[in-house]
Amino acid sequence: MFAFLEPYYSGSHKYFADGFKKCFPEQIQLFTLQGRHWKWRMHGSSVTFAGMLEKSGEKFDTIIVSSLSDTALLKSLVLPKMPETRFVTYFHENQLAYPWSEDDREPSKTDMHYAFINFTSALVSDIALFNSEFNRESFFAALEGFLRSFPDNRLTDKIDAVYKKSKVLYPGINTIQKSNGRKGNILKILWNHRWEYDKDPVAFFETMFRLKAAGTAFQLVVLGEEKSTSPEIFKIAREKLKDEIISFGYAENYEEYKKLVAGCDILPVTSKHEFFGISVLEAASAGVIPILPERLSYPEIFPPDKFGKLFYEEGKLFDFIKKIAENPDFSLRNEISERASFFDWAHFKRNAEKLLF
């Protein structure tokens, strides 16, 4: 029996936990906390989870811990009662490479503790799983410099051992049925990411404003949930692009979400960070063409040797989209859909069985 502990049961973390459970309904028992207060989850969730595990009365062969928790603390509390248990940390993200918000009250320059929790979690795990090669490599690329910033006993001798037990396990995606083709002659543009700073909505909407000012005809579908902390640019865009907007905000249900996604032509991506890219791959599975920066996880997900046409140069997104609007080329739709569908839950299940069972 496996226990899967998710301290931030929301968004992509919830998506992954639910998908994992669905793939292995008999083997996985899910333990969750609400998706809020991520810093407090990294400090305190392990104590809460230790109590939940004890209360369950189960003796688990393997405990899989999501990366917004402290595996070292959890292991110290659980191991005396379950001495044969294997511990696995699954890294949706890593705090060594995650971009900090300018509005954060604890900027990265003064607080390195969350990155250190990630390090010790990997250190004490039997297996450290990362959701992409980019995630894993960005973690280790930053780790030595991070540890050398400490005054002495810098622990850099532990890096090789941690690296040897690190593996990549891509999450699965819910694929969306591909539409039969473009609906009309007007370019339909999609946003289906979280409404947060790290997806860089300012860069996205400023490009939309430029397209409108240039006289380029387009329609816009903006999906996602508005929160009290959502960037102000969403309110500005809703007003400035009201004539272009088809849909704006959270879809009524998943069927409506799929219909709206499948009806779009392109998905321009401006993210400051992406360790995998679930929303991009969902849209791509429906044949929506992702327009990608050549950085982060995107070249790994869509190898440039085959999908080079998808990538734009930094600062050239406006020119890239304008060219598509004027000279549409959707010849890669089938290949894009096939590539995205490679990351479905069946693929995840096969790889998870190899690594964990």
pLDDT in tens, 319-356: 999 999 999 889 999 999 999 999 999 999 999 999 99
Q: What is the pLDDT of residue 228?
A: 80
**In-domain check, residue 176:** no
**Percent with pLDDT over 90 in the chain:** 90
d(CA 6, CA 68): 8
Residue 353 within any structural domain of the chain: no
Q: What would the DSSP string read from start to end of 69-123?
A: S-HHHHHHHHTTT-TT-EEEEEES--TTTPPPPTT-SS-TTT--HHHHHHHHHHH
Band of the pLDDT at 110, cuts 50, 70, 90? Answer: very low
Predicted confidence at residue 70, as pLDDT, reads 98
CA distances from 6 to 26, 30, 80, 146, 220 (A): 18, 8, 22, 26, 34
| Same-domain check for residues 34 and 116 | yes
Alpha helices in the chain, H assignment, sequence order = 11-23, 38-56, 71-78, 113-124, 133-148, 159-164, 201-213, 233-240, 254-262, 278-285, 298-301, 304-307, 317-326, 333-341, 345-356
The CATH number linked to 211 is 3.40.50.2000
CA distance 272 to 292: 12
On whether residue 352 sits in a domain, the answer given is: no
Angstrom distances, CA of residue 346 to CA of 275, 280, 343 = 21, 18, 8
Please check whether residue 87 lies inside any domain of the structure. yes
Reported as a pLDDT band with limits 50, 70 and 90, residue 239 is very high
Distance between CA atoms of residues 220 and 239, nearest Å: 13
Residues 129 and 197 in one domain: no
Residue type at 53 in one-letter notation: L
Cα separation, 311 vs 274, whole angstroms: 15
Q: Could you read off the pLDDT of 261-274 as tens digits, one per residue?
A: 999 999 999 999 89
Q: How far apart are CA 237 and CA 207, in angstroms?
A: 11
The total of structural domains in the chain comes to 2
Q: Decide if pLDDT at 106 tops 60.
A: no
Q: How far apart are CA 237 and CA 248, in angstroms?
A: 10
In a domain, 105, yes or no: yes
Q: Provide the pLDDT for residue 109.
A: 46
What is the pLDDT averaged over residues 49-58? 97
Residue that the structure tokens 């936990």 belong to: 17
Q: Please tell me whether residues 99 and 16 are part of one structural domain.
A: yes
Whether 155 and 60 map to the same domain: the answer is: yes
Does residue 350 lie within any of the structural domains?
Answer: no
> What integer pLDDT is reported at residue 179 of this predicted model?
75
Q: pLDDT, tens digit, for every residue of 162-188? A: 999 999 999 999 999 987 656 568 999
Say if residue 109 is in the same domain as residue 209. Answer: no
Same domain, 337 and 221: yes
- Exposure string over 316-332, b if 16+ CB within 10 A, otherwise e: ebbebbbebbeeeeeeb
Segment among 91-105, 147-161, 284-298 with least mean pLDDT: 91-105
Q: How many whole angstroms separate alpha carbon 132 and alpha carbon 143?
A: 17
Residue 99: per-residue pLDDT: 67
Beta bridge partners of 31: 5
pLDDT exceeds cutoff 90 at 103 = no
Mean residue pLDDT of the chain comes to 94
Range of the domain at 251: 187-341
Sheet with strand 266-268: strands edge to edge: 245-249, 218-223, 187-191, 266-268, 289-293, 311-312
pLDDT in tens, 58-75: 999 999 999 999 999 999
Contact of 71 with 120, CB cutoff 8 Å: yes
Average of per-residue pLDDT across 78-96:
96
Residues 6+ apart with CB under 8 A from 44: none
pLDDT at 227: 81
Q: Is residue 149 one of the residues assigned to a domain?
A: yes
Domain co-membership, 95 together with 150:
yes
212-234 b/e with 16+ CB inside 10 Å = b?
A: beeebebbbbbbbeeeeebbebb
What is the average pLDDT across 187-198? 95
Given a contact cutoff of 8 angstroms between Cβ atoms, the answer to whether 114 and 39 are in contact is yes
Q: Are 208 and 332 part of one and the same domain? A: yes
**20 shares its domain with 107:** yes
- Judge whether residue 191 has pLDDT over 70: yes
**One domain, residues 156 and 204:** no
Confidence of residue 101 (pLDDT cuts 50, 70, 90): low
Q: Are 234 and 204 in contact (CB under 8 A)?
A: no
